[in-house]
Amino acid sequence: MYFLQFCHRTPALAAKYMEHIKKQGSHGRERASAIFKSSGQLAIAAPEALAELAWRVLVPAPVKRDRVFPPERREPFTYADRDLLNVSPARGLNLLEHAPHVGLGLVRRLVGHLVEFQRQAGQAEGEPITIALPLVTVGFKYPWTYAWSRDANGNYSVTCALMALEAWAHRRIEAGQSIDGVVADIMGGGDCAAAFLLIVVDILISHWPKTRQFAIPFLGVPDLLALDQQRQNIDTMRSGAFDFGLFGEKEPQGLATLESLRRRASRVAPLGNLLMYYALSEPLAERDEILRALRAASERLGPPRADADLVDPAFMAEHSINMLDPANYRPVKVPQKDGSQIEGIAYFAPPAEYDHLASGLAGAQARMQEIMLRNQLAETLDDPGKSTAALIDQGVDMARRAQEGGIEQPDFDRSLELRPHSFCAMGTPNSANPMLAGHENSVQPQLADRRIRCTVSAQASDSIRWESARWDWSMPDCTASRDSPCSGSWNSPRAEIPP
């Protein structure tokens, strides 16, 4: 592989070497995969051959009839794609830097291949997002591809390619190239997948205020603003999530890194945040242009649903119109990390918008509190010493509501059955332990669920031990109390595993 580090000095020899690898076909797959992962200076010496090698390594050869794997079991990429688990813009950036037309062609080819694979698997196309630019109207199709530059559903080569495209665009703008030219190269000559739209949005946010004039057509499309709000919510959650890329190969050194993209402004703010700058500064003609587009879109979309929020285009249209009204902004004190405060300005929703969101916020808070209560109850089942009378009251009330409303616990989590009898594990009704007083009729564990069995200590114990029924899944009903532990005979063990 030392030759690849200096092959740019002898391009003819590099091209001959790549032709030799190509002629080996499937017999040279291992060597081709090694070259793909560490291509050295091939992006300079033989960019077309490198792009073709990457395609052959990543994309499985077409088969007329696959008798082993039916269509729904096939994968869009080979196992070489798994080697890119630790996604990085460095994978592919050299090709875009030294041979832009070749690199752009490979990125579009990979994205197009995955789009077509998903469509053949039954994915609906979705409504395209249309942006009316000054000279041309562009339709960004397949909105479900919008966040592929963050995660292409585990297809790491596509994510790496789009990250490389974003990093390349940032470098060009920082080198002084025009926004129009960079965005035109990203979008191509016409309609394209929405995966490329997010790259444009990253540019608009990260290079503000250079992009102020160019961003106007994008800010007048509530469908895009709602989609990007959802994207930003996901970015925020991922910022503190566990990095599974730690299990992959080490990120290669290059002109850009994953961390350099994460530090961009687009990772912490949605596109709609730019509206405040048009509301509070000149020229007013720009604000009026966005307002006209938003009002036309709001009329087309109609009134929002009662439960709509900022990821709903109809509600986002109304919210964006409100954000362009200077009367909805007030001065505030912004706390800093060192404890000091600075002067700032913040958006305050008008009464109609506030009331609309209040009900949804209350419901979200109630759902969050229920999740937290579930977690507390699950911990208490493992450690009954953590139980309290107030916690049991809350758990029994939640279980009763679930039982009366017909709410079932998901099949993937049976650790806490939403039934009143689950709470017998937190204490037993007796004179020494009054925590379950008033719930005696609710905590008799009629274990017809066939998931677990309980045994109660015959001694003076206030806890119940839960054991997994590993063999016989036909459970006898039992009633547990201090004086009468679970009774009933178990059938002889059977080596049957339930579905």
Identify the pLDDT of residue 239: 63
- Provide the H-helix boundaries in 248-350: 258-262, 275-280, 284-301, 313-323
Identify the pLDDT of residue 491: 34
CB 52, CB 39: distance < 8 Å: no
| Residue 87 placed within a domain | no
Indicate whether 137 and 238 sit together in one domain.
yes
With CA atoms as reference, report the closest residue to 311 among 230, 220, 365. 230
Identify the pLDDT of residue 408: 61
Total domains in the chain come to 2
- pLDDT bucket at 382, cuts 50 / 70 / 90: confident
Give the domain extent around 296. Answer: 124-348
Identify the pLDDT of residue 65: 59
As a whole number of angstroms, the distance between CA 378 and CA 370 comes to: 12
Indicate whether 363 and 247 sit together in one domain.
no
Indicate whether 344 and 363 sit together in one domain.
no
Residues 401-410: pLDDT tens digits?
777 766 665 5
The average pLDDT across 413-417 equals 46
Angle, alpha carbons 344-347-350 (nearest 5°): 145
What percentage of residues in the chain have a pLDDT greater than 90? 42
Q: Of 299, 316, 348, which residue sits at a domain end?
A: 348
The encoded tokens of residue 167 equal 């990093």
For residues 236-275, one letter each, b for 16 or more C-beta atoms within 10 angstroms of the residue's C-beta and e for the rest, the string is eeeeeeeeebeebeebeebebbbeebeebebbebbbbbbb
Q: Of 348, 366, 381, which residue sits at a domain end?
A: 348
As a whole number of angstroms, the distance between CA 471 and CA 496 comes to: 7
- pLDDT bucket at 442, cuts 50 / 70 / 90: very low
As a whole number of angstroms, the distance between CA 90 and CA 252 comes to: 6
Indicate whether 216 and 316 sit together in one domain.
yes
As a whole number of angstroms, the distance between CA 170 and CA 30 comes to: 34
Task: Enter the pTM of the model.
Answer: 0.74
- CA-CA distances (angstroms) from residue 145 to 153, 198, 398, 445? 10, 9, 39, 48
